[in-house]
Structure 1
Amino acid sequence: MLKRLLPWMALCACSPLLAAANIPHERLQALADEPYWLALGHYEHARLGGWRSFVDDPKFFLAADGAEHPAAELAATLKALYAPAELGDRHAQCVYPARTRWLRRQLQLDDLPQVACQEYRTWYEDINPHSAVLVFPAAYLNSPSSMFGHTLLRIDQADVDSDNTALLSYALNFGAYIEGMDNSILYAWKGLMGGYPGLFALVPYREKLSEYSRLENRDLWEYRLNLTPEETGRMVEHVWELKQVRFKYYFFDENCSFRLLELLEIARPGTELTDHFPLTAIPTDTVRAVKNAGMIDRIDYRPSRERELLARGTPLSHEEKHLARSLADDDSLLDSPEFKALPAERQALVQDTAFRLVRYRATGQDRDTAVASRSYNLLRAINRNPPPALDVERPGQPEDGHESRTWQIGAGSRDGEAFAQYGLRMAYHDLNDNQYGFPLGAQIEIGQMKLRQYEGNRWQLQQFDLVTIRSMTPRNELLQPLSWQVSGGWERVPGKNSDDDHDTLVGHLNGGAGGSWKLTDELQAYALGTARIENNQDFAATIAPAMGFDTGLLWSNPLGNLSLEGKGDYFHNGEVRRTLSFGQQVELSRNLGLRLSAQREFSHEASPRNEVMLELRWYHY
C-alpha cells in the first residue's frame, strides 16, 4: 500500500526523520475537510456516508485507508514531507508537488527539507505550462468511444500565439486503457460497467490533431481558457501526481470529460464544475458548463478533412464533381479534352477537389505508390494553377445545441382510447430534435424509457430502449457513405391479445444499412434494408427473425424538423408488420420542443391501429 514510500522506509533505518510540524488535530481535520484537499484526492461522498476516492489505485495513497479517509491521507502526507532529503526524486515532495505546495501555504511549512526533485523539474520545464485550451473533437458515430465526442486539454507555452507553435504543445488526455483487441460490443459493455482502467496521458498535440481531424475525420473545436499561468501550472503539477495512476473508467459519468473538469477545479478552486454532473457527463454538456463558468476567452475551429473536401466541392456543378471524382481515380485525365475545355479557374477548383479526395481516401491506409503518384501529379497541377483560398463555413458550436437529457410528457389517443405518456431519455439526440450543433443525420439515444397511463388508471411500460443509433449522412457525387442503424430494447407491438393487454411487450434487436440522399438543402430521403430478431410471447419460437425495410423523408422547415417514415418487417413465421409514421417538432426554445406524432400500424396478428400524440419535450442535463 505504501509503494511510493518503500525507499524512504528503508532509509529511515539509518537516517533520522526530521521532526514534522506539530499541528493540532483540530487544524488537520479542518484542512482535510477543505474542498481543495478533497479535490486533490478526488474524493466524493460515499453512498453510505463518509468519503471515497475516484482513484482506483492504492499507490496514489500514502495512508493504508487514504482512499476512504481524507484526514488520514493528509496526516500521512504531512509526515512524508519531512522525510530525509536523501530520498531525492522518490521523496513525497517530488511525488506530490501539488499537495506540497498547498500544505506549505496553508500551514506555513518553512522548515521542510530542501529536495531537488530533478525528474519532476525536468518534466515540468519541458512542458513549460503557461495557458490551456479545452479541445472538443466532434462526435464520430463509427467509433463506440467517440459517439458523443471527446474532450482533452492542450497545454501551451507562453509564445504559442505569437510564434504559432500550437503543434508543439502537449495534449492532456484521459481515456480507457485497453489491453488486447476487444470487439465493439465487448468494448461498449465494459465501458458501461467500468471494466477498463482510465489513465491520464500527456502526448504531443500534433499526434492528437492528426488522430481526430485526419484519421477519424472529425471537426475540432478549441476553447481558449482564461486560466492564468499560475493556475495552469497548478493543474500540471497535479497531473504529475496522477502519472500512471488508475481510475475506473465509465462511458457516461467517470469519463474523459468528468476527469478534465476535476483538473480545472484544481486549477481554479471554487469553480465546482463536477457538481453539475451527478449522473452523466456528456462531453458537450461539460464544455457548456466550462463556458457558463466564464472560463473561455476564445473559440477556434479546425474543420476535418472531409468537411474541407465538401467545402471545396460545393461550387462545382454536377458534371464537374463527377470529373473531379474521375481525376481522383486517374490523373491522366488532366490532359483529357473534357478537362482542358474548362476555364482555368474551374480547372483549379476541380483538380484541387480531386487532390483532396485522393488524400481523404488514403486516410489511415498504408502508403500506396499509385496513390502517391496521383497525389504528386495533382499537386503539381495545383501549383501551376492554384485555386482561391478555401473558406469553410463554420458550423454551429456544439455547446450551443440542446442539452442531452430529455424529459417528456404527452397526451394522445390510440384507437379512440386516451392516454398520457411520461418519458425520460438519458442521452441525447434524435432526427426530430433541434439540429443546431449536432452532426448531420446523426441519432444517438441511450437509455430511453416511456410509461403510458390509459383511461381507468391502467399503466404499462410502453418502451424501454437500451440504445438507438442511426447514421444518415447523405451521399453525394464525391462521397458515398453508408447509412446504417442499430437499436435494441423492449417495445409494444400489435398482438393476438391486444384488446386485453394493450399490445404485446417484446424484446428486440434491429439493424439495417442503405443510403441517404439530399433532395434539396432542407429535404433528405433515405432507404435501408433491415433485419430484426424478436422475442414475442405470441410466437411459437423463442427468437423470431425478420427481414424488412425502412424508408423515409426528413425535412428541416421553419417550425423545426419533420419526419415521414414507412417500415416493414417480414417474419419467417409468416407474420407481416408494417408502420407508417409522422413526426413534426416545433422548437419553442433551444431546450424546449413540442412534438406532434401520428402512426398507423398494420399486422397479421391484429387489426390496424391508429395513434396520435402531442408531446412536450424538455432538454436538460
Structure 2
Amino acid sequence: MFKRLAPLLIGSLCAAAQASPQMADTQLQALASERYWLLLGHYLPSRLDGWRSYVDDDAFFLADEGATSPTAELQATLDGLYADPAQGNDHVQCKYPARTRWLREQLQLSDLPSPDCGEYRSWYDDINPHATVLVFPDAYLNSPSSMFGHTLLRIDSPDTQASGTTLLTYALNFGAMVENMDNGILYAWKGLAGGYPGQFSLLPYRDKIGEYSRLENRDLWEYQLNLTPEETARMVEHVWELRQVRFDYFFFDENCSYRLLELLEVAKPQLHLTEQFPLTAIPADTVRAVREAGLITDVTYRPSRERELLAQAEPLTSNELDWVTRLAADSAVLKDPDYQAIDSQRQALIQESAYRLIRYQSSGQERDQASADRSYQLLQAINQNPPPKLLIDTPTYPEYGHESRTWQLALGSRDDRAFAEYGLRLAYHDLADNLAGFPLGAQIELGTLNIRQYQGNHWQLEELGLVSIRSLTPRNQLLKPWSWQVATGLERVAGDDDKRRLVPHLNGGGGFSWNPVSDLQTFALATLRVEHHPDADEALSPAAGFNAGLLWRNGLGNLLMETSNDFFTNGEVRRSLKLSQHWELGTDLGLRLRARREFSHRSDPENEVSLQLRWYYY
C-alpha cells in the first residue's frame, strides 16, 4: 500500500516545491507598480482611475483583467512561471522571456522549472542582438501615408556590426495592417480614425531598404544608438512577447514612432520618452527626443533613388535630358551618329542618368527582360566611359527642423476693423514655414484653431481646421508626378448682408507643379469643394474651380502667392488673392506678413492684412 502511495506523496511534495511564492497583497501591488513591469505591460494611468494597457489584444494577457490590472497580470505571470515544464514552447517562461528574467531578478527565483523553449531560443539566436540603430525614412510627398516620415529600429548582431554588412541585419517595425484594396487617401483617413490595427514585425533590413529608398523613393537616416548589448537584448526579449499582438493604430499619436519609443524605454527604463508626446507623436519629433536624450552617437544618410537620379541629371541641359529619356527607352540610341558626336564627358553623364532612370522606373515592377537588356547595355557603355563619382550634399537632419506645434499671435485689420488673432496648430508644417529639415512644397496641418478679437471686444472663431494636406511635387523632363491637396474643417466666408459666415467644408484638388528656376516653384490645380452655407438655399453647396500660385524661397524665408477661384452650382462665384511672406527669425521662431483680398457676389470686396508672430513649440 505504501509503495503505491509513495509516488503520489513524492509528486505532491514536488508540486508544492514548484508552487509560485506567496506574497502579501501590499508586496504584490508594490512590485506591480514598478516602472519596468508597467513598461512590459504597456500600461498608462486611466483617465478615470487605475490603469489601462495600450495593448488591444486579449491574447497578450494571462489574467482576465490583465488589461486594466497590473497586479492581477503579475500574479498570473508568477503562477505561470511554475507551471508544468512539459508545456514546452507554450510555457509562460517561453512566451514571456522579458517578464521571466525581470521577476527572477526581483524575487531571486532560483527554483523555477526549466521548460524547453526551442522556438524562442532559435529565433533569438538568429537575430543575435548586439546593437540598435534608429532608422528614419524621410517624408515622401506623393503618398498621404508617408508624408510625416516613419521610424523603425535596426538590430545589429556582433558580426554584422563589425563587418559593416548592415543589409544582413533585421529591421523592427510597427505598422498598420492595411487591406490591399485601400489606396493612399483611404489609408490616411482610416489611420486618422484608428481604423487599422497595428502590429510589430521583424524583417530583413534589406527588404525595408528596398521598400523605402527604392519603392517609395524616400531618403533614409540611420542613427546609431548607444544602447549596450544587454539593453538591446532586453528590448528584443520583449519583442518576442509582442508577436502577433495587436494595438490600435492612430496616424498622429499611437503610431510607429510612439511604439518604438516604448521599446527604447524597455531597453533603458531610466528614459522617459513617451511622456513627451501626450497628443501627437510626429516621427521627426520623436527622433529629436531620442537625440536630446543623448542616445545618438553617429548618423548615416542614404539618399533615395529619386534623389540620386535628380542629382545625377542636375548638370545636364534640356537637350541632354532628351537624350537621357531616349536612351532609357531604347539603348540602340548609343549607336546614333548624333549621340556619338557628343563630347565623351557629357556622354558619361547622360548614360549614367539614363541607367538610373531605368532603375527608377522599374522600382516595384516585375522583372522586365527588355528593361534588363537596356540596363545591361548601358552598364557596358558606363564601364567603358565612367562618369565622375556622384556626390550628394547631406540635407539638414530632420530632427533639426522646427518643432511641430505652433502658437500664433497676429495683429491686423480687415477693411476698417482692427483685430488681434490668437492661434494654435497641433502639427506640423505649412508651405511658408521655416524650411530647414522639410521638403519645399509639402504641407500637413492638423488641428488649427484661430480666434479673433475685434475692436469693441468682439470675439469670434475665425477658423477650425481639422486636416490640411498639400503635396506640390515638381515635374521635370524625367519625372512627371501629380500635385494634390485636401482640406476640411470650419472657416469664415462671405455671407449675405456683408456678414461673414462660419461654414463646414471639404475641398481638394489635383494638378501640376514646376520648378522653372532654382528656389521658385509654381503650381496649378483643378479643385472641387462642398460646403454647408447658412445663407444658401441648398443644404450642401458644391463648387468647381482652380488654385494657382508660386512659392519662392528667398533670403528672408518663403514667399507664397496664390489665387483661388470657386464656381458654385447655385451661381455664386468666390475668388481670393493671398500673399504671405515668412521671415525665419530662428529655427523655432518666425514672423509672417499676410495680405488677402476676397471677392464674392454676396458682399463687397474685402481686404485684410496682418503681421503674425509664430512660435514653434512642442
Separation in structure 1 between the aligned mates of residue 230 and residue 115 of structure 2, nearest angstrom: 21
Q: 2:387 maps to which residue?
A: 387
Shift of 1:13: 11
Q: 1:7 maps to which residue?
A: none
Shift of 1:168: 0.9
1:72-108 CA-partner distances (Å, limit 9, x unpaired): 1112211221222222222111111111111111111
The answer on 1:199 being equivalent to 2:199 is yes
Shift of 1:45: 0.3
Q: 1:77 maps to which residue?
A: 77
Q: Secondary structure at the match of 1:586?
A: strand
Q: 1:350 maps to which residue?
A: 350
Q: 1:579 maps to which residue?
A: 576
| 2:504 paired residue among 504, 507, 527 | 507
Q: Secondary structure at the match of 1:63?
A: coil
| Contact 1:497–1:504 (Cα < 8 Å) also in 2 | no
Runs ≥4 residues deviating over 4 A: 12-15, 183-186
TM-score in terms of structure 1 length: 0.94
| Contact 1:404–1:619 (Cα < 8 Å) also in 2 | yes
Q: 2:438 maps to which residue?
A: 438
Shift of 1:481: 1.9
Separation in structure 2 between the aligned mates of residue 182 and residue 356 of structure 1, nearest angstrom: 30
5 Å-filtered alignment, 1:56-455, equals 56-179=56-179, 181-455=181-455
Shifted more, 543-552 versus 440-449: the winner is: 543-552
Cα distance, 1:22–1:315 mapped onto 2, change above 3 Å? same
Shift of 1:183: 4.4
| Contact 1:528–1:550 (Cα < 8 Å) also in 2 | yes
Unaligned runs of 5+ residues in structure 2 are 1-10
Separation in structure 2 between the aligned mates of residue 321 and residue 15 of structure 1, nearest angstrom: 81
| 1:555 paired residue among 518, 531, 552 | 552
Q: Secondary structure at the match of 1:436?
A: coil
| 1:517 paired residue among 514, 534, 539 | 514
Q: Secondary structure at the match of 1:370?
A: helix
Separation in structure 1 between the aligned mates of residue 511 and residue 197 of structure 2, nearest angstrom: 37
Shifted more, 247-256 versus 107-116: the winner is: 107-116
Q: Secondary structure at the match of 1:162?
A: helix
What is the number of residues matched between the two proteins?
Answer: 607
Shift of 1:202: 0.6
Separation in structure 1 between the aligned mates of residue 67 and residue 614 of structure 2, nearest angstrom: 41
Separation in structure 1 between the aligned mates of residue 13 and residue 484 of structure 2, nearest angstrom: 69
Shift of 1:180: 5.3
Q: 1:614 maps to which residue?
A: 611
Cα distance, 1:13–1:535 mapped onto 2, change above 3 Å? farther
- The letter for the 2-side match of 1:143 is S
1:394-426 CA-partner distances (Å, limit 9, x unpaired): 111111111111121211100110111122212
| Contact 1:15–1:84 (Cα < 8 Å) also in 2 | no
Q: Secondary structure at the match of 1:462?
A: strand
Q: 1:570 maps to which residue?
A: 567
Cα distance, 1:581–1:264 mapped onto 2, change above 3 Å? same
Shifted more, 204-213 versus 452-461: the winner is: 452-461
Shift of 1:144: 3.0
Shift of 1:373: 2.5
- The letter for the 2-side match of 1:598 is A
Separation in structure 1 between the aligned mates of residue 161 and residue 318 of structure 2, nearest angstrom: 41
Shifted more, 34-43 versus 531-540: the winner is: 531-540
Separation in structure 2 between the aligned mates of residue 451 and residue 185 of structure 1, nearest angstrom: 30
The answer on 1:538 being equivalent to 2:538 is no
Q: Secondary structure at the match of 2:339?
A: helix
Separation in structure 2 between the aligned mates of residue 547 and residue 437 of structure 1, nearest angstrom: 35
The answer on 1:527 being equivalent to 2:524 is yes
Q: 1:16 maps to which residue?
A: 15
- The letter for the 1-side match of 2:145 is S
- The letter for the 2-side match of 1:383 is N
- The letter for the 2-side match of 1:557 is N
TM-score in terms of structure 2 length: 0.95
Shift of 1:181: 2.3
Q: Secondary structure at the match of 1:381?
A: helix
Separation in structure 1 between the aligned mates of residue 149 and residue 350 of structure 2, nearest angstrom: 32
| Contact 2:432–2:558 (Cα < 8 Å) also in 1 | yes
1:577-619 CA-partner distances (Å, limit 9, x unpaired): 2111111111121111111101111111110100011111111
Shifted more, 245-254 versus 453-462: the winner is: 453-462
Shifted more, 44-53 versus 325-334: the winner is: 325-334
1:527-567 CA-partner distances (Å, limit 9, x unpaired): 22222223222222322232222221211122111111122
- The letter for the 2-side match of 1:148 is F
**CA RMSD across the alignment:** 1.8
| Contact 1:66–1:72 (Cα < 8 Å) also in 2 | yes
Separation in structure 1 between the aligned mates of residue 425 and residue 180 of structure 2, nearest angstrom: 33
Separation in structure 2 between the aligned mates of residue 519 and residue 193 of structure 1, nearest angstrom: 39
